[in-house]
């Protein structure tokens, strides 16, 4: 099958790159700038041409004609060189490009008209043909092309009717018409060629900008990931360094509390309780930060195994009840699941439940109630709910509750401290296990945290 060449700039771009080109178009400003960039060279040629014509006039013209034509040619040469020098040294606004070229065309036409008027020779009318063709070769604006041709036709008409007979006039009209056709053809071809180049250049620039932006985005993303990994690795290393002395402090405090080395006075027992509580709280903070750093560095692997769902639920609830503040709270356990054995990460599930129950204990005033529920969906998912009658959260606080290190801006939240990582870690572990977590809360009316996990039964796992 015969292949056809692309006819438009977008087709050329697509043929080169193999992809659709971005939308682009050429404006008159683009054409003006192309002409402006080469205008100094055009006037340099005009100056050089009329310098040569000046010497030719000095050599070949009769003295009477030379007295008139030599100053005109010399002035035209000087003007051409002067404009060329100025345009080379200084950048003019693009709007001036075509008016300056029109002025240059007028200089040429006036020279030819003066020569015809002085010589009264109809043969000199042929010089107008070069001007007509030059107009088509250099102009890139339809308006200024039409204006220059109009001025040119006016000067040619005055000169032709003044020196040519009817027969000679018809002959010159024929040549002028052909020159006009060539002018329009040259103008059209050059303008279309420049339009295609302009569009291709704009498309290339757009692609380069897109590529530069994409590379910049990739660079910034890589730098952000690198910094995040460095931060998380630093936190993980620091946490490991802190755990060793903390475990020693907690261990010796537990020994002292058990009075293994002899009885302690009431005063020292209180000191030991304070040391033990502070050490455990600090260890919890360190563990939370370590868990978060593992999640951010993708080092927190899940260990999926079959286990009895009742065990993590009951042990998490028992641990929450053993907290110091939990003695004044009422705990309710409402198991609604029927699957005895499920497949998931037992340790992660237990940590999720402990984090959520600890938050509920922390922000529920004395006399409040904390409820732990579970229910099974028909599609194999299990829903967990931790509901409390605590201080609750506003919609703005709910929106920020899953951000790391965020704390509710209230005196109650400040009183009980914490890192603000419990909800964040729970949410990320839930997502890691393939589930999702949502928060429903109203200020002064408590909070309900729900999360579901995909826990297959043994027969479903075998069927899959």
Q: What is the mean pLDDT of residues 319-342?
A: 78
What letters, b where the CB count within 10 A reaches 16 and e where it falls short, cover 365-394?
Answer: eeebebbbbbbbeeebbbbbbbbbbbbbbe
State the Cα angle at 297 between 294 and 298, rounded to 5°.
80
Chain segment 197-227, per-residue pLDDT in tens: 999 999 999 999 999 999 999 999 999 888 8
- Across 148-303, where does the E strand assignment appear? none
Q: What is the pLDDT of residue 14?
A: 44
Q: What is the mean pLDDT of residues 350-377?
A: 90
CA distances from 81 to 75, 84, 139, 259 (A): 10, 5, 20, 108
Span of 9-13, 86-90, 233-237, 423-427 with lowest mean pLDDT: 9-13
363 vs 165: CA distance, rounded Å: 112
Q: What is the pLDDT of residue 311?
A: 87
User: What tokens appear for 135 in the block?
Assistant: 């107009």
91 vs 339: CA distance, rounded Å: 83
Q: Using DSSP, state whether 308 is helix, strand or coil.
A: strand
Query: Is 370:331 a contact under the CB 8 Å cutoff?
Result: yes
99 vs 151: CA distance, rounded Å: 13
User: What tokens appear for 90 in the block?
Assistant: 């200084």
Residue 77: name the closest of 32, 46, 36 by CA: 46
Please give the full DSSP string across 323-374, using - where no structure is assigned.
Answer: SGGGGGSEEEEEEE---SEEEE-HHHHHHHHHHHHHHHHHTS-TT-EEEEEE
Q: What is the mean pLDDT of residues 24-35?
A: 89
Q: Could you say which DSSP state residue 123 is in?
A: G
92 vs 106: CA distance, rounded Å: 20
Q: What percent of the chain has pLDDT over 90?
A: 44
Chain segment 402-439, per-residue pLDDT in tens: 776 565 454 444 555 555 677 888 898 899 888 999 99
Q: 127: burial class by Cβ within 10 Å (0-12, 13-18, 19+)?
A: middle
Average pLDDT over the chain, rounded to an integer: 84
User: What tokens appear for 101 in the block?
Assistant: 């070229």
Lookup result for tokens 């204006």: 147
User: What tokens appear for 46 in the block?
Assistant: 């005009």
Q: What is the pLDDT of residue 245?
A: 85
pLDDT tier at 457, thresholds 50, 70, 90: very low
**Torsion angle in degrees (nearest 10) through CA of 233, 234, 237, 240:** -110
Q: What is the pLDDT of residue 85?
A: 94
Residue 312: name the closest of 258, 349, 340 by CA: 349
128 vs 111: CA distance, rounded Å: 10
Backbone angles phi, psi at 441, to 5 degrees: -155, 155
Spacing of C-alpha 277 from chain mean position: 50
- Is a pLDDT exceeding 60 seen at residue 15? no
Please give the full DSSP string across 170-190, using - where no structure is assigned.
Answer: HHHHHHHHHHHHHHHHHHHHH
User: What tokens appear for 346 in the block?
Assistant: 């037992």
371 vs 360: CA distance, rounded Å: 9
Residue 116: name the closest of 107, 128, 100 by CA: 128
Based on its alpha-carbon atoms, the radius of gyration of the chain, rounded to whole angstroms, reads 45
pLDDT tier at 271, thresholds 50, 70, 90: confident
Q: Using DSSP, state whether 62 is helix, strand or coil.
A: coil
- Is a pLDDT exceeding 80 seen at residue 119? yes
Please give the full DSSP string across 366-411, using - where no structure is assigned.
Answer: TT-EEEEEEEE-TTSEEEEEEEE-S----HHHHHHTTSTT---SSH
**CATH 2.60.120.10, domain 302-454, yes or no:** no
430 vs 437: CA distance, rounded Å: 7
Span of 254-268, 356-370, 441-455 with lowest mean pLDDT: 254-268
Q: What is the pLDDT of residue 112?
A: 92
């Amino acid at each position: 099958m015969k292949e056809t060449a692309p006819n438009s700039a977008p087709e050329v771009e697509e043929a080169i790159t193999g992809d659709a080109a971005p939308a682009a178009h050429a404006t008159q400003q683009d054409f003006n700038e192309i002409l402006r960039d080469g205008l100094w060279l055009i006037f340099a040629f005009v100056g050089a041409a009329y310098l040569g014509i000046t010497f030719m006039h000095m050599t070949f013209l009769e003295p009477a004609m030379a007295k008139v034509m030599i100053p005109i040619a010399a002035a035209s040469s000087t003007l051409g060189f002067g404009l060329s020098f100025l345009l080379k040294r200084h950048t003019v606004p693009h709007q001036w490009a075509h008016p300056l070229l029109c002025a240059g065309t007028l200089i040429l036409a006036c020279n030819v008209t003066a020569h015809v008027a002085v010589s009264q020779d109809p043969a000199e009318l042929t010089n107008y043909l070069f001007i007509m063709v030059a107009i088509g070769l250099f102009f890139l604006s339809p308006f200024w092309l039409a204006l220059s041709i109009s001025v040119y036709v006016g000067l040619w008409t005055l000169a032709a009717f003044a020196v040519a007979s009817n027969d000679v006039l018809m002959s010159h009209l024929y040549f002028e018409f052909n020159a006009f056709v060539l002018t329009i053809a040259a103008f059209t071809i050059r303008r279309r060629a420049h339009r295609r180049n302009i569009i291709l250049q704009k498309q290339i620039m757009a692609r380069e900008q897109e590529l530069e932006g994409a590379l910049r985005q990739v660079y910034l993303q890589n730098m952000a990931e690198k910094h995040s990994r460095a931060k998380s690795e630093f936190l993980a290393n620091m946490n490991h360094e802190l755990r060793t002395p903390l475990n020693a402090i907690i261990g010796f405090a537990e020994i002292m509390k058990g009075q293994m080395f002899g009885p302690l006075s009431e005063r020292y027992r209180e000191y030991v309780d304070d040391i033990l509580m502070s050490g455990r709280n600090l260890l919890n903070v360190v563990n939370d930060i370590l868990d978060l750093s593992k999640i951010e560095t993708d080092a927190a692997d899940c260990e999926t195994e079959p286990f009895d769902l009742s065990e993590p639920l009951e042990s998490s609830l028992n641990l929450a009840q053993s907290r110091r503040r939990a003695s004044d709270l009422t705990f309710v356990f409402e198991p609604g699941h029927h699957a005895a054995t499920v497949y998931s990460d037992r340790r992660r599930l237990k940590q999720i439940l402990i984090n959520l129950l600890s938050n509920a204990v922390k922000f529920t005033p004395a006399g409040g109630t904390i409820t732990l529920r579970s229910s099974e969906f028909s599609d194999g998912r299990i829903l967990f709910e931790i509901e409390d009658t605590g201080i609750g959260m506003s919609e703005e606080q709910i929106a920020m509750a899953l951000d790391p290190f965020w704390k509710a801006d209230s005196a109650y939240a400040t009183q009980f401290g914490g890192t603000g990582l419990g909800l964040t870690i729970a949410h990320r572990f839930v997502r890691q296990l393939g589930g999702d977590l949502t928060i429903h809360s109203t200020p002064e009316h408590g909070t309900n945290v729900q999360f579901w996990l995909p826990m297959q039964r043994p027969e479903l796992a075998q069927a899959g």
